[in-house]
Amino acid sequence: MHALVFIPTYNEQENIENLISEILGLNLDISILVVDDNSSDGTGKILEKISKALPRLSVIHRFDRQGRGLAGIVGFKYALKQNVDYIIEMDADFSHRPKYIPLFLEKIKDCDVVIGSRRARGGKVIGRGLRRECLSLLAQYFCRFVLGINVLDATSGFRCFRKNVLERIDLDKLKSTGPSIVEEINFHILKQGFKVKEVPIEFELRCAGSSKLNLIKVLDAFFTLLRLRFTR
């Protein structure tokens, strides 16, 4: 069973090469797609260099930084054209550890979507300050309340899908241009009755580089979810 790992990037030069090496080092039937949003720190150049020696690595460069949501749509559309059985989505900053990928591929045999969950029993968040943790918890409750998503970690972007799940979602009609694409896809998955399993993970703050989350993105996610709720 072949899997494709999809990683969106923006300014991840300190992480991306090590992350790719660790994923390929799992010695699984896996290929990797990186969608880079015109990184200003040289991430794109690093990807071009290492892709020449790694046939299992594909790179898409987007020359306008258009947002995490639109990068996700580009990545999923590419993945759906490939001869793969599973599509794994993860961040590039090592907050999502590749060591969980074999577990995801094992658990998905009994469900349609696996979510790497910080909130499931056994999951935890390491190194996050109280303010950020409170904000994360509020986002969880808000998302579950507004969209009616029965998932403990509704904002987790570390997921494994059966290919046919994403084939059932009209990617061109998604409303999110930013990080809220995670919650929006979860909404459509559950609305269509797919079986979701949450697997506990240890979520660690990024190894290097700086967070891309800011107040504008938080507010954008807030209004996007409200729009999704009242236009569905």
The phi-psi region of residue 61 (left if phi > 0; otherwise alpha if psi is between -120 and 50; otherwise beta) is beta
The full set of domain ranges for the chain reads 3-231
φ and ψ at 205, to 5 degrees?
-60, 155
Average pLDDT across each block of 10 residues of the chain; the chain has 232 residues. List them in order.
Answer: 95 96 97 96 96 97 82 96 98 96 98 96 83 72 77 92 97 87 90 96 72 56 67 60
Q: Which long-range contacts (CB under 8 A, 24 or more apart) does 96-100 make?
A: 96/157, 96/158, 96/201, 96/203, 97/201, 97/202, 97/204, 98/19, 98/22, 98/23, 98/26, 100/158, 100/199, 100/201
Token reading at 212: 């891309």
User: Distance between the two ends of the chain, CA-based, in angstroms?
Assistant: 35
**How many whole angstroms separate alpha carbon 100 and alpha carbon 230?**
36
Alpha-carbon torsion angle 22, 206, 212, 181, nearest 10: 60
Exposed / middle / buried, residue 79 (Cβ in 10 Å: 0-12, 13-18, 19+): buried
* pLDDT in the model for residue 137: 72
Pairing of strands 57-61, 30-36: parallel
Fold entry, domain 3-231: Spore Coat Polysaccharide Biosynthesis Protein SpsA; Chain A (3.90.550)
Over residues 40-63, the pLDDT tens digits come to 999 999 999 999 999 999 999 998
* pLDDT in the model for residue 138: 75
